[in-house]
């Protein structure tokens, strides 16, 4: 395990994903404004995956999809080779047939990862990481202050693809045993059908997806949101777009937000926070979160909070070397934040690709278009034939 204080941006792609690398960078530049935490590196996943074997969920045992006990890496390689090198190139295979073929195989992969027996030395290392960050609250080394277990793959937060929301983040776990199970759930999450579909736009070999994990102390944010160091409508880099909602996960989970356009010391209100409820962390019992009534306040951010947040964004703009987009121009920053009793916390920063990723990769938009209307129905893979390798 590596404490976030030991991780820097240069470690992205070699030890961990960009989420952890940027958090380590933020911790270096903003002491006291990043929650305690540590990284479970790529290598830990690779070690467990290499030794894993196929396990079959009950509903798939008699389907002839796989043989229980087969090395899982062999099954994954065979699955991908068949899909990409044979089925997707066959004009007789329809998009519906492609989906019907791949989905149960992804189910097998996720189920098999969930059945992995974690190595005893890793269990001890994980406990040591929690101890080092002082995240246990009793002498039995089971009860936690509350932690998020966040996916951090090598294929997200990229200059042309951020992958936000594709893989799993588990909220506010309160026991060590829940963290152990959470690790396997997060490792398995890149093998959902939606994640698999989107991810293929940016990599040539799907076997080269590796998840690291960020274990991060829960921050019971009273308000939270996202700041983009540009006007998201015009791309004007002299302005900032700031969206804040009450509770945790503000704007990230799609909740209505107070939206401001900040320009040279002045903030113009574009939209108010109007949700009747807010999501708050539960800091007792089994943890997790719950919906409670909103405060009813007309404003979310105070003047003091806005000033501090903008100052942090300006510092990031000055001290962080920018990533470049597909056109070679510097990208704005996408900054996730929260406030607890007026204290600013920074949860993440990454290059903001905004809508440009959908313009560059039009097939991706079709996978999410009308998702609520088509909930429970198979996604169309028709467009994938055009752009998958």
- The three-state DSSP-derived secondary structure of 171-237 is EEEEEHHHHHHHHHHHHHHHHCHHHHHHHCCCCCCHHHCCEEEEEEECCCCCEEEEEECCCCCCCCC
Domain range for residue 302? 223-354
B/e letters for 115-153, b = 16+ CB within 10 Å, e = fewer, are: bbeeeeebeeebbebbeebebbeeeeeeebbbbbbbbbb
Q: Does residue 262 share a domain with residue 298? A: yes
pLDDT at 379: 31
CB atoms within 10 A of CB 307: 12
Q: How far is CA 11 from CA 4, 19, 213, 268, 284, in A?
A: 11, 11, 14, 38, 35
Q: How far is CA 99 from CA 63, 357, 386, in A?
A: 16, 23, 15
Q: Does residue 159 share a domain with residue 76? A: yes
pLDDT at 62: 84
Q: Does residue 163 share a domain with residue 258? A: no
pLDDT at 202: 57
Q: Does residue 388 share a domain with residue 288? A: no
pLDDT at 195: 84
Q: Does residue 43 share a domain with residue 184? A: yes
Q: Does residue 322 share a domain with residue 261? A: yes
Q: Does residue 381 share a domain with residue 246? A: no
CA-CA distance, 357 to 334, in Å (whole number)?
14
pLDDT at 139: 77
pTM for the model: 0.84
Cα 119 to its chain centre, rounded Å, is 25
Which CATH number goes with the domain that contains 250? 3.30.470.20
pLDDT at 73: 95
pLDDT at 93: 93
Q: Does residue 386 share a domain with residue 285? A: no
pLDDT at 347: 96
- pLDDT (tens, 9 = 90+) of the chain, 389 residues, equals 899 999 999 999 899 999 999 999 999 999 999 999 999 999 999 999 999 999 999 999 888 899 999 999 999 999 999 998 899 899 999 989 999 999 999 999 999 999 999 999 999 999 999 999 999 998 778 999 999 999 998 766 555 545 555 678 898 999 999 999 999 999 999 999 988 887 665 555 667 788 999 999 999 999 999 999 999 999 999 999 999 999 998 766 556 799 999 998 999 999 999 899 999 999 888 898 999 999 999 999 999 999 999 999 999 999 999 988 878 889 999 999 999 999 999 999 999 976 443 333 222 333 333 333 433 333 333 333 332 32
Q: Does residue 334 share a domain with residue 365? A: no
- Total structural domains within the chain: 2
Q: Does residue 292 share a domain with residue 173? A: no
pLDDT at 155: 66
Q: Does residue 182 share a domain with residue 44? A: yes
Q: Does residue 151 share a domain with residue 33? A: yes
Which CATH number goes with the domain that contains 116? 3.30.1490.20
């Amino acid at each position: 395990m590596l404490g976030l204080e030991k991780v820097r941006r240069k470690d992205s792609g070699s030890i961990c994903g960009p989420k952890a690398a940027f958090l380590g960078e933020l911790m270096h530049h903003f002491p006291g404004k990043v929650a305690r935490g540590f990284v479970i590196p790529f290598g830990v996943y690779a070690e467990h995956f290499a030794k894993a074997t196929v396990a079959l969920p009950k509903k798939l045992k008699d389907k002839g999809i796989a043989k229980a006990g087969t090395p899982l890496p062999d099954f994954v390689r065979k699955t991908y080779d068949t899909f990409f090198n044979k089925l997707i190139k066959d004009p007789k295979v329809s998009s519906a047939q492609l989906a019907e073929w791949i989905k149960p195989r992804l189910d097998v992969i996720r189920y098999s990862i969930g059945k992995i027996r974690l190595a005893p030395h890793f269990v001890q290392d994980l406990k040591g990481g929690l101890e080092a960050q002082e995240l246990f609250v009793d002498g039995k080394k089971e009860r936690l202050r509350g932690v998020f277990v966040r996916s951090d793959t090598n294929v997200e937060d990229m200059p042309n693809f951020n992958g936000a929301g594709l893989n799993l983040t588990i909220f506010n776990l309160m026991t060590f045993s829940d963290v152990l199970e959470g690790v396997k759930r997060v490792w398995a999450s890149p093998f959902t059908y939606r994640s698999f579909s989107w991810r293929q736009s940016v990599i040539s070999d799907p076997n080269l997806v590796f998840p690291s994990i960020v274990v991060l102390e829960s921050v019971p944010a009273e308000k939270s949101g996202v700041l983009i160091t540009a006007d998201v409508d015009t791309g004007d880099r002299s302005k900032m777009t700031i969206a804040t909602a009450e509770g945790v996960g503000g704007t990230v989970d799609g909740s209505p937000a107070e939206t401001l356009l900040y320009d040279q010391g002045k903030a113009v209100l574009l939209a108010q926070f109007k949700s009747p409820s807010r999501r708050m962390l539960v800091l007792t019992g089994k943890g997790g979160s719950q919906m409670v009534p909103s405060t009813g306040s007309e404003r979310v951010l105070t003047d003091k909070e806005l000033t501090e947040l903008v100052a942090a964004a300006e510092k990031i703009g000055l001290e962080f070397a920018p990533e470049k987009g597909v056109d070679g121009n510097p990208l704005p920053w996408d900054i996730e934040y929260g406030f607890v009793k007026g204290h600013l916390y920074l949860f993440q920063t990454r290059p903001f690709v905004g809508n440009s990723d959908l313009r560059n990769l039009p097939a991706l938009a079709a996978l999410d278009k009308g998702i609520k209307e088509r909930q429970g129905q198979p996604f169309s893979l028709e467009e994938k034939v055009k752009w998958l390798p």
